[in-house]
Amino acid sequence: MMDDENQSGGVKAEAPAPAEKPENGSADKPQPNPARRRRLIIIFAVVVAAVAAAYFIYDHLVLSRRVTTDNAYVAAETAQVTPLVGGQVVEVGVSNTQTVRAGQPLLRLDDADLQIAVAQAEADLAAAERRYGQTAATGEALQAQVAARAADVNSARAQLAAARGTLERAEIDFQRRQALVSAGAVSGDEVTSATNALRTARANVVVAEAAVSQAQATRTSAERDRAANAALTRGTTSRTAPEVLTARARLRQAKLDLSRTIVRAPIDGVIAQRNVQVGQRLSSGTVTMSIVPVDRLYVDANYKEGQLSHVRVGQAATLVSDLYGDDVIYHGKVVGVAGGTGSAFALIPAQNATGNWIKVVQRLPVRIALDPRELRAHPLRVGLSMDAKIDLSDAE
């Protein structure tokens, strides 16, 4: 019974009370470590400071030593093809996008009229050479005439001397007859004959003197004619005479005009803007096409005005084209800075003096010459976009 009471009605031993759970489950979370938090903050601050220092160093040593822009475009000094003589186009041997070499024929004009002009100039040259030969021969003839006129003068002088001798004899004979008249030794007829002979002798002397004067005048005229003719040929030959040189120059001009009927390429490059057709009649100076020198291109990079304080001629530049991407890098040099902004040379310049003025950052073109070898390896075309970077390391 006692056992039953102990088993059923006896006092039971109490079980231990369960421990109370903390509110909000705080016992499951680890308590924060203040030392670890400070260490993380310090590490983060060090990393931020290192990044800021690295950026500052990069900006000071790299970014501040170069200026970049993507507002850059390929350009070139294109050559315009213009005929120097007029005529009808009979052949055009090239088309747009075709590559040509300097001196290559591009088009041909009708040359019939100019061939006739060459023939006429050749005839004029032959005539000028003949005239020179005729002038030289005339000079020799005039020299002979001068010698003949000198002989005429000598002959006239001899005749004058003879007439004077005859006059002296006639005077002596007349004086003798006159002295014998009073003595009656001569007849009147003899005196009359002596008087007539004296008059005739005097007249002959006058005639002889006139003949001498005329011969001298004729000789003087011949000498002047010879001098005038000699002036036309003095110091010249059949190749250096002025009229011959003029005719030869006209012949060269005619041949030059004939050769210009074939219009040739002035430079190496690519044909662009061809606007000429067979059968079209051109005048001198008409623009028929353009040639772009693809191996002598340059880049006009439009930098902001605040980027140009240290840009100088001769500084190195690297460029990337949108055509090839970053795989191809071009190298060049700054060759010049434009004399004004694009707006300054616009057809209608900006009127900043008005009251409704808003400041706009201006851009100034900087010309960068490209390496011809790189252009031959990776050709560009006019108008393509470029990214340009100028190295300011050597800025003064």
Is the confidence at residue 208, as pLDDT, over 50?
A: yes
- Give the alpha-carbon dihedral of 136, 137, 142, 143, to 10 degrees: 80
**CA 267 to mean position of chain CA atoms:** 13
Are 233 and 194 within one domain? Answer: yes
Going by their DSSP bridges, the two strands 87-92 and 105-109 should be labelled as: antiparallel
Q: Which two tokens stand for residue 255?
A: 């041949």
User: What is the percent of the chain with per-residue pLDDT over 70, rounded to a whole number?
Assistant: 86
Are 71 and 93 within one domain? Answer: no
Are 143 and 270 within one domain? Answer: no
State whether residue 68 is helix, strand or coil: strand
Q: How far is it, in rounded angstroms, from Cα 124 to Cα 118?
A: 10
Each residue's pLDDT tens digit, 328-369: 999 999 999 988 887 777 777 777 766 677 778 889 999 999
On whether residue 19 sits in a domain, the answer given is no
The domain that holds 107 is classified in CATH as 2.40.50.100
Q: Which two tokens stand for residue 214?
A: 């005329």
Are 267 and 300 within one domain? Answer: no
Are 174 and 240 within one domain? Answer: yes
Q: How far is it, in rounded angstroms, from Cα 389 to Cα 396?
A: 18
Each residue's pLDDT tens digit, 91-117: 999 999 999 999 999 999 999 999 999
On whether residue 36 sits in a domain, the answer given is no
Query: The pTM is what?
Result: 0.63
On whether residue 237 sits in a domain, the answer given is yes
Domains of the chain: total? 3
The domain that holds 345 is classified in CATH as 2.40.30.170
Are 216 and 315 within one domain? Answer: no
Are 130 and 168 within one domain? Answer: yes
Query: Is the Cβ–Cβ distance between 284 and 85 less than 8 Å?
Result: yes
Are 154 and 176 within one domain? Answer: yes
Bridge partners, 386 (sequence order): 72, 321
Q: Poorest-confidence range of 86-100, 183-197, 363-377? A: 183-197
Are 251 and 264 within one domain? Answer: no
Are 249 and 211 within one domain? Answer: yes
State whether residue 143 is helix, strand or coil: helix
Q: In terms of pLDDT, which residue wins out, 5 or 231? A: 231
Q: Which two tokens stand for residue 153?
A: 């003068």
Going by their DSSP bridges, the two strands 105-109 and 262-264 should be labelled as: antiparallel
Are 150 and 177 within one domain? Answer: yes
Q: How far is it, in rounded angstroms, from Cα 236 to Cα 227?
A: 15
Q: In terms of pLDDT, which residue wins out, 279 or 66? A: 279
Q: Print the domain residue range for 329.
A: 67-77+293-349+359-391
User: What would the mean pLDDT of 208-237 be, rounded to a whole number?
Assistant: 83
Are 249 and 118 within one domain? Answer: yes
- pLDDT, residue 70, reads 93
Q: Poorest-confidence range of 216-220, 323-327, 370-374? A: 216-220
State which of 232, 255, 278 marks the end of a domain: 255
